[in-house]
Each structure stands twice: as C-alpha cells, then as structure tokens.
Chains A and B, each alone.
Chain A
Amino acid sequence: QQQVKQSPQSLIVQKGGISIINCAYENTAFDYFPWYQQFPGKGPALLIAIRPDVSEKKEGRFTISFNKSAKQFSLHIMDSQPGDSATYFCAASKATGTASKLTFGTGTRLQVTL
C-alpha cells in the first residue's frame, strides 16, 4: 500500500528551466510534508518542508505548493542548475510525537543539462 505517490520517476530539465515534481498522499492524518534531496552515494537531506496550514512555502529557488483538498503537494525548482541534479523524495508524516515516522514517495531523478 503506497501512501505517498510521486511523479515523474525521472526528469530532464535545461539549465535555467523550471523543474516540477508532484506527490499525492492518502492518509489525512499526515500533517508534515518534507522534500528530501539525495546526491549519489549520500544519505537524503532535508531540502524544504511544509505544514498543511499554508498553501505555499518558498526558500530561495525552491517552492512547495500544497493543496489540502486534493491531498497533493509539489516541488518547484526555479532557474534549475546543474548542481540541482539529484534524486528528490517527497515524504509525509505526523509532525511530532513518539510515533512520528516518515513515509516516502518513490523518488524522482532530476538531471539538469547545460
């Protein structure tokens, strides 16, 4: 049972373009939605996160858009750079508490070309 569905599986974007990755979740108890970035040979690292009380969060070139009624959220990378080439995972969880654990999407491999 996949509780967080992510698309596309892979994405190629030209330098300077916009990268968009989409996720959908099923469990309405989720109240924390992070995106993790993973470079080859490394562990995932938190990139940006959002709670469902806001519809958008922006940090530099990275923006999360959140649609609570549709149970969907997306990551937008503006002015994509070759250094952004990595695998991106969306995730969801209950934010805090002893039972807090992340459920991940299947990942999107982003390649930014020159």
Chain B
Amino acid sequence: NAGVTQTPKFQVLKTGQSMTLQCAQDMNHNSMYWYRQDPGMGLRLIYYSASEGTTDKGEVPNGYNVSRLNKREFSLRLESAAPSQTSVYFCASKDIWNTEAFFGQGTRLTVV
C-alpha cells in the first residue's frame, strides 16, 4: 500500500520555467492538499481540494495553479517559477470523516 506518492522527488528549475508536481493517493480519500515547507515557517497550505471536482486557495496560492484530475490525483503547477518558490512541497490526503492526514515524501524544488 503506497499511500501518497509524489513525483519528482527533486527538481532544479531556472527562473521563468514551468513545471507540474504530481501527487497520487491510493487510500480512496476525498480531500487532498498541497503544502510548502520553508525553514522557520512550518507548513503552509497552498491549495486544497475538498472533494473531486473542487479546488480552493489556501494561505499562499500566488504563483501556483492546481488540478484535481480525478479522485486519486492532485497536481500543482508553477507557470513561471521564481526563486521565492524554492521550497519543499508536500502533498497530503485525508478522508472527510477521518481526522488523520497522510503526507507524501515531498518534492524538493530549487529555482535558480
């Protein structure tokens, strides 16, 4: 049972390039989330999808877009990467009726 799988694990981008971070969960969870983790700032919510077909902004959505492709997959897109988007990105999922959120292993992104 894989849980939450993120790809890629590492990525280096040049300023202005675009990329999509992929996330898939196999736990049949309704809700999925994208967080970024920066030193001294904890995990901050970028976007979330409460259920298939819906997405909403979190605390720090600027510069990002998301797609809830189906119940399993939730992708995060950087259209024009900036150095300020250098971070570790985590995808998480949870069921509506369950309190525990399960996290992926993270994607370490560096924008130069």
Q: Which residues of A contact B (CB under 8 A)?
A: 6, 9, 32, 34, 41-46, 49, 89, 93, 95-107
Contacts and interface: CB of A to CB of B under 8 A. Distances in A.
Interface of B: 4, 30-31, 33, 35, 40-45, 48, 50-51, 58, 90, 92, 94, 96-101, 103-106
Contacts of A104: 35, 42-44
Nearest to A107: B42
B99 A95 contact: yes
A101 B45 contact: yes
Contacts of B99: 32, 34, 49, 93, 95-96, 100
B100 A46 contact: yes
Contacts of B51: 98
Nearest to B44: A104
Given A98-B50, A99-B50, A101-B33, A44 B103 contact: yes
A89 B38 CA distance: 13
Contact of A96 (B4, B35, B96): B96
A89 B43 contact: yes
Given A93-B99, A100-B99, A106-B42, 13 more contacts: A42-B106, A43-B106, A44-B43, A46-B100, A49-B99, A89-B42, A96-B97, A98-B50, A101-B33, A102-B33, A102-B43, A104-B43, A106-B41
Contacts of A34: 99-100
A98 B94 CA distance: 10
11 contacts: A42-B106, A43-B4, A43-B105, A49-B100, A96-B96, A97-B96, A100-B50, A100-B94, A100-B99, A102-B45, A106-B42
